[in-house]
C-alpha cells in the first residue's frame, strides 16, 4: 500500500507537468496570433508540400488535377480579362496593404489566386511525365546513392518548373491587366 502512495503523487506531478506544457504552448500560440508573428507562407508551403506528395501517391487523381488546374487557370484569365478594372482595383489596393492584423494574409491569398492553378497543373503534368517508382525500399549497393540523387533531383526539378509556371502566370496576368486598364 505504501508503494501505491509513492507512485500516485509522481503520476500526479507528471500530469501537472504535461498540463503546464500544453497550456503554455497554447498561450504562446495565442500570443503569436495576437501579435501577428505567424508566418503564413511557411505554413502554406509545409501544407502544400505534404498535400502534393500525397497526390502523387494516388496516380488516378493526377489527370483530374491537371485538368482542374488548367480549367482554373483559364477561368482566372477569363475573369481578369472580362473585368480588368476590378482585377486592377483588387491588386492595387490590397497588395501590400497596411492592414494591421491581416495585411500579410490578404497579400498571400491574392497572390495565390493566379499562382496556384498553373502550379498545380505543371506539378501534376511533371509527375505524369516523370513517373517515380513506388518502391519503398531503396536498393543498397554501390549505385544506391546515385539512384536516390537522381530521383530527388527530378522531384525538385518538377517543383521548380511548376513554381516558374505559377510565377510567370502571375507576371503575365499583371502585365495584361495593367496594359488593359492603364493603371
Residue 25 has pLDDT above 90, yes or no: no
Q: What is the pLDDT of residues 130-178, one digit of tens each?
A: 876 555 455 666 666 777 777 778 888 999 999 999 999 989 998 888 8
Residue 8 has pLDDT above 60, yes or no: no
- Cell of residue 29, nine digits: 500560440
3-state secondary structure of 74: helix
Query: What integer pLDDT is reported at residue 167 of this predicted model?
Result: 92
Name which residue leads in pLDDT, 53 or 84.
84
Question: Cα torsion for 77, 107, 29, 101, to the nearest 10°?
Answer: -130
Residue 31 has pLDDT above 70, yes or no: no
Most confident of the following: 87-91, 94-98, 173-177: 173-177
Q: How far is it, in rounded angstroms, from Cα 120 to Cα 103?
A: 25
State pTM to two decimals: 0.61
Amino acid at each position: 500500500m505504501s508503494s501505491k502512495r509513492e507512485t500516485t503523487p509522481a503520476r500526479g506531478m507528471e500530469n501537472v507537468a504535461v498540463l503546464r506544457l500544453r497550456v503554455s504552448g497554447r498561450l504562446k500560440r495565442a500570443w503569436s496570433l495576437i501579435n501577428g508573428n505567424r508566418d503564413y507562407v511557411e505554413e502554406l508551403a509545409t501544407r502544400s508540400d505534404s498535400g502534393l506528395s500525397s497526390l502523387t501517391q494516388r496516380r488516378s487523381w493526377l489527370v483530374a488535377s491537371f485538368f482542374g488546374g488548367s480549367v482554373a487557370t483559364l477561368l482566372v484569365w477569363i475573369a481578369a480579362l472580362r473585368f480588368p478594372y476590378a482585377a486592377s482595383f483588387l491588386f492595387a489596393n490590397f497588395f501590400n496593404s497596411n492592414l494591421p492584423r491581416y495585411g500579410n494574409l490578404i497579400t498571400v491569398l491574392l497572390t495565390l489566386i493566379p499562382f496556384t492553378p498553373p502550379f498545380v497543373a505543371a506539378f501534376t503534368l511533371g509527375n505524369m511525365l516523370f513517373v517515380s517508382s513506388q518502391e519503398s525500399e531503396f536498393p543498397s549497393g554501390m549505385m544506391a546513392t546515385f539512384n536516390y540523387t537522381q530521383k530527388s533531383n527530378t522531384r525538385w526539378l518538377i517543383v521548380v518548373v511548376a513554381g516558374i509556371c505559377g510565377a510567370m502566370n502571375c507576371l503575365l496576368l499583371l502585365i495584361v491587366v495593367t496594359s488593359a486598364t492603364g493603371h
